[in-house]
Amino acid sequence: MTFQIRQLGTADYPFVISVIDQWWGGRQMSDMLPRLFFEHFTDTSFAAERDGRLAGFLVGFVSQSRPGEAYIHFVGVDPAERGNGLGRLLYETFFQAAGARGCVLVRAITSPVNRGSVAFHQRMGFQLEPGDAEVDGIPVSPGYDGRGGDRVRFIRGLRGSGHGARTQSAAGGLNR
């Protein structure tokens, strides 16, 4: 199973928007992905193609105001492509790009309902950050994003921490 990784670009935007809600099992996700991320953060955002078709993507950036920090905003994998390690490949590509830009840690968040995403981030070496609440043993930050958007927060070092040494193949892990 070979994927071609390249930079994400504005030309990918219409296709991504057309499939994003379906890739998330019907959840309304497109509002969380304005075009600006496909225009202004393309050097740390990646598309994965198989046979010329978009199989997945990652939108991430280097924090402008927090030195050494990087952030993964949005990751999507075509349901038909899950279980092939694509999530892991996209994350590792981002870790490399962020590290090359001087970042020493990466943050990401997800929704508490997305247990597959929580497990994926743990396999990828992320730690769960403390929250003000707990749901089924998972620390949750209530109302973290927008109006009532509870989130699970992740953090992962990029250097010398040993994180990621035991990462396994991603089984459909997505964020959000």
Q: Does 33 bind its own copies (CB under 8 A)?
A: yes
Q: Which range of residues in 82-90, 114-122, 146-154, 167-175 is near its own copies by CB under 8 A?
A: 146-154
| Minimum CB distance to its own copies, residue 16 (Å) | 10
Return the HEC string of the chain.
Answer: CCCEEEECCHHHHHHHHHHHHHHCCCCCCHHHCCCHHHHHCHHHCEEEEECCEEEEEEEEEECCCCCCEEEEEEEEECHHHCCCCHHHHHHHHHHHHHHHCCCCEEEEEECCCCHHHHHHHHHCCCEECCCCEEECCEEEEEEEECCCEEEEEEEEECCCCCCCCCCCCCCCCCCC
| Minimum CB distance to its own copies, residue 162 (Å) | 26
Which residues ranging from 59 to 78 are in contact with its own copies (CB under 8 A)? Answer: 61-66, 69, 71, 73
Q: Which of 4, 6, 25, 35 binds its own copies (CB under 8 A)?
A: 35
Which residues ranging from 86 to 115 are in contact with its own copies (CB under 8 A)? Answer: none
- What is the contact surface with its own copies in residues (CB under 8 A)? 14, 17, 21, 30-36, 39-44, 61-66, 69, 71, 73, 143-147, 149
